[in-house]
Amino acid sequence: MPRPRQVQPNELALRLQAFGPQTAQALASGLRVDRSNISRAFALPGLARQVIRLGTTRGTSYALRRPVRGLGDTFPVRRIDAEGRARDWAELTALHGGWRVVWAEPSRAPAWADRVLALGGFDEGFPFYLGELRPQGYLGRAVGRALPAGLGLPRDPRDWSDDDTLVYLFSEGDELPGDLVVGDGPLVRYQQGRLAPPAGAIADADRSERYPALAAAIAVPGGGGSSVEGEQPKFLATLAAAEGGGPTRVMVKFTDQLATSTGRRWADLLAAEALALALLQARGEAHAAPRLLDAGGRRFLETPRYDRVGAHGRRGVISLRALHDSFPGPATHDWTVAAAALAIDGLIDAATLRSIRLRHAFGRLIGNTDMHFGNLAFWFDDALPFRLAPAYDMLPMLWAPVAGEATPAPEFAPALPLPADREVWHEAAGWAAGFWAELAESPLVSAEFAGLARAAGAALARARAAA
């Protein structure tokens, strides 16, 4: 009787590379050997370290580690708390066919973990909370252009693969949005920073000089209007500690030169954004009222970052885009439809859903046509339900400059609510009516934009009377 064929390590490795995680029976069938041969092959020195077992019960599968560009195959993920202290949170392993996530404290795994991970912590796609950290928007493209060429990454982060994102996080990720840090290098740099005063902190009295210099360093002629993703040019800054307090991390939007038509219109829009966020902040929907500053021929809108706490603390945040892409839901671009699906799945509660409906209605009633899923965020915690983070980027983008037209004046025609939305709509309409009335009288906007505000307020009044 002929001796059963023995499986060679390279045969198993090639199959796991080609097909991703496989059960022992699937491997045996594919290689036309007895299943016992597969188990023996996994114990061979050439495979023992490279093969990961996913699960411990029936249905267990096996996967092959995959090195990522000389960085290894396993990456620690830490979280920074509000006091600035790091804790081990998870370990990410790159596999052929996906990724594995192992929690640092399995007994305290995130409440949402089983919704996104298969047996053994396997995830076919790159973890949503890490993919979210890929540089995005205006700031993201500036980051991409400034990265060292040695990283081998495309200059535009929109062209990055998952591996590109991981290389960036592992190499440059000590100052990311939110509270996650991947790898030892970024964590070491972050911890070193805790022991030193904030680099480049700006005294409040120096903002009028420093902000124009920072804007001039990154501004592109004609680039003060909406970017490809509808974002205003901006930079990050740290304000020096005021008496009795600590440093403040801020995000600062800025305009073209106010002497230009585009710059003047964006100055009007930033004044409108400051007012909208102040109104929302007074109703518990925004973090802090922004500050406006006219200096160096530009207007600046300065908003404290809500993902930073004190000098070094951080808070996790996650966008509606990331949640909508990661948890099953309807194909939609509407905040309220996507949020309703999250509520049905128990990912957000009824109060959060109502706040989202209010913000969405308010945005529509002030002409915000840029409420994409990156412009709504949640606190990213291990617990469920996810809680709504403060509002941001809330402004009347209907009147934003467009190609070939610096100061458009489209007609504002607010839609009437459906019966199920009437109560929330009327509450938001009251907020919007106050917004338009105050904006029309604001000395911070041009006479032209004040006229647009009066006309919008009148259109809203007609809609409220008919609703």
The catalytic site residues sit at 370
Measured over the CA atoms of residue 112, residue 113, residue 119 and residue 123, the dihedral's sign is positive
Please provide residue 331's backbone torsions phi and psi, each rounded to the nearest 5 degrees. -75, 110
Give the contacts of 321 (CB within 8 A, at least 6 positions apart). Answer: 132, 372, 373, 374
CA-based nearest residue to 216, from 251, 254, 270, 266 = 254
Specify the DSSP class assigned to residue 421.
G
Q: How many CB atoms lie within 10 A of CB 219?
A: 18
How many Cα atoms occupy the beta-carbon half-sphere of 351 within 13 Å?
A: 7
| 223-257 burial: b if 16+ Cβ within 10 Å, else e | ebbbbeebbbbbbebbbbbeeeeebbbbbbbbbbb
- Give the span between the Cα atoms of 272 and 450, in whole angstroms: 10
Nearest to 255 by CA among 65, 128, 447, 406: 406
Residue with tokens 């409220």: 464
